[in-house]
Amino acid sequence: MSDILKLNKISAHDDARTLLKDVSLSLGENETIAFIGESGSGKTITLKAILGLLPDDIKISHGSVEICGKDIYSLNKKEKRRFLGSHIGFVAQNTVNYLHPLLRVGVQMTDGYITFNGKKSKSEAYEKAAKLLTSVGIQDPDRVLSSYPSQLSGGMRQRVNIATALMMNPSMLLSDEPTTALDKVVQKQVIDLYLSLLKERALSLVLVSHDLFFVNKIADKVAVFYSGQVVEIGLKDEVLSNPLHPYTKALLALSPSMDMDKRKPLNEIKGYISEEDRSRVGCPFFSRCPYSSKSCEQEVKESFVTPTHCVKCTLISGGQI
């Protein structure tokens, strides 16, 4: 199986800080990978690095991003835009401003398609948009196409965003916290929508989410981000059922479950990601980790527990569990 997406030791930094450090991962056809981790851990920056949409002040210092076998940072701006436009769909977290408030939904859904297929494809583009809107569960696509974004609800806008991302039949979809800004009922609908999309289409999905329930349902692989590094990555069952990194364990213990003791307070990870942790040579979780030892202050190597399950922790690389 060939890889749709391959990140090879991507590192990024802005003027002051290291934002990503040696992020490597790969994603095959029809696979779904989920990025989990707390806010500020580098999930969204990784997404933006894949899209080549980092702000001007953030630079990639080394590493490469290959999409469908093409190193996108070797392309010039225009080539990159055309390549990404036709190969990747992106669904943003923010449903409010991702759609232009002053343009009708139809215009915004179709103009990418028209850019690639020429002016004559306009009616074709609208047909396609209507079809896609139906497939994401919108009953009256024609009304939605002629409305302004402000006339739609948050859930509707998110569906429109998903449909827009699918306009060019992309081989990969990137989705940044698609359920965060929505209420529980709509969240459920969006999750179901993603599940059915993945079933119906040949689509790889990169998903950033805080919602472990969602991740558990949809992902094939999980990457755990902490302070700009991937501290643990593997197949979903490996990471979620057999977490090895202390951070992953702590993170998974956070989500409340039905059988927990309701008199006890909810779990938490004490402290926060400090600026020091970001620039640390050794393990970034060092200062918050209950198991930290002297050896954690040196550079921590990746250890493969299985061919697919990789952890960055001295507890593993030191051979002791």
Partner 1 sequence: MLKYILKRFLSSLAVLFFVTLITFFVISVLPGDQAILALGLDATQESLDALRSSLGLDRPFLVRYLEWLFSAIRFDLGTSSVYGERVINLIVSRLPVTFFLTLFSIIIASLISAALGLIASLNKGRVADGAIRTTVLAISSLPSFWISLLCLVFFCGKLKWFPVNGYTAPSVNVFEFIRSMVLPSFILAFGEIALMTRMFYSSLVRSLSDDYMIACEVKGLSRLRALIHYGVRSAIIAPITLIGNQAAKLFGGTVIVETVFSLPGIGRLLLVSVEQHDIALLEGVVLFITVMVVLMNFLTDIAVALADPLIRLSGGEK
Of residues 168 and 223, the one with the C-beta less far from partner 1: 168
Of residues 47 and 215, the one with the C-beta less far from partner 1: 47
Of residues 54 and 212, the one with the C-beta less far from partner 1: 54
Which residue ranges make up the site for partner 1 (CB under 8 A)?
51, 53, 77-78, 81-82, 84-86, 88-90, 92, 94, 97-103, 108, 111-112, 115-116, 148, 150-151, 164-165, 167-168
Of residues 87 and 201, the one with the C-beta less far from partner 1: 87
Burial class (CB in 10 A: 0-12, 13-18, 19+), 113: buried
Quick one: tokens of 134? 């139906």
User: Dihedral sign, CA of 216, 218, 224, 228?
Assistant: negative
In whole angstroms, the minimum distance from the beta carbon of 148 to partner 1 comes to 5
Non-local (6+) Cβ contacts of 122 within 8 A are 110, 114
In the sheet with 3-13, reading across from the earlier edge strand, the strands are: 18-28, 3-13, 59-67, 70-71
In whole angstroms, the minimum distance from the beta carbon of 86 to partner 1 comes to 6
Whole-number Å distance between alpha carbons of 17 and 105: 39
243, 248, 249, 253 alpha-carbon torsion, rounded to 10°: -120
Quick one: tokens of 54? 């980092």
Length of the chain: 321
Of residues 179 and 227, the one with the C-beta less far from partner 1: 179
In whole angstroms, the minimum distance from the beta carbon of 314 to partner 1 comes to 39
In whole angstroms, the minimum distance from the beta carbon of 112 to partner 1 comes to 3
Of residues 59 and 301, the one with the C-beta less far from partner 1: 59
In whole angstroms, the minimum distance from the beta carbon of 174 to partner 1 comes to 9
- Please name which of 191, 249, 263 lies closest in space to residue 34, comparing C-alpha atoms: 191
In whole angstroms, the minimum distance from the beta carbon of 127 to partner 1 comes to 18
